[in-house]
Amino acid sequence: MITVFYDAWCPLCTAVSERTKKLDVQRKVKFISFREPTVAADYALSPELLKKMEDRLYVYDGKKWHEGIYAVRKLAKQIPYYWLLVPFVQLSIWIGMGQRLYDFIASRRSIVPTGHCTDGVCEIPNRKLKS
């Protein structure tokens, strides 16, 4: 079993997690939104790690943390439906483009702080774009 810490304020991340839950017939993956108020305490996550989770997907396999493209690879290996993607993800890592491509896509995703609006105004966190 692996634990995937994803961003529930990201529609893309949420859609992928919902689709993967349906495909995970062997129940090998647990999805946790790091945005939930009790997650840091429940999983002993440091403030530094929570901050990093805003930029990249994180997977914990019980022994080691995997982030970004390495988290995608770890997740893809758990779900038979995604196995065809594993060689392409691995190739992207070997040629040195996997993490860069992952970061490019992640830096352009939408962040929608659902349920966190006050007086009808939603404040969206300022995301630094990597140059």
Query: For 38-55, what is the mean pLDDT?
Result: 94
Residue indicated by tokens 């040629």: 95
Supply the DSSP symbol for 109. S
Contacts of 85 (CB under 8 A, 6+ apart): 76
Contact of 33 with 39, CB cutoff 8 Å: yes
How do beta strands 2-6 and 29-33 pair? parallel
Domain assignments of the chain as residue spans, ordered by start: 2-107
55-110, pLDDT tens digit by residue? Answer: 999 999 999 999 999 999 999 999 999 999 999 999 999 999 999 999 999 998 88
Say whether pTM exceeds 0.95.
no
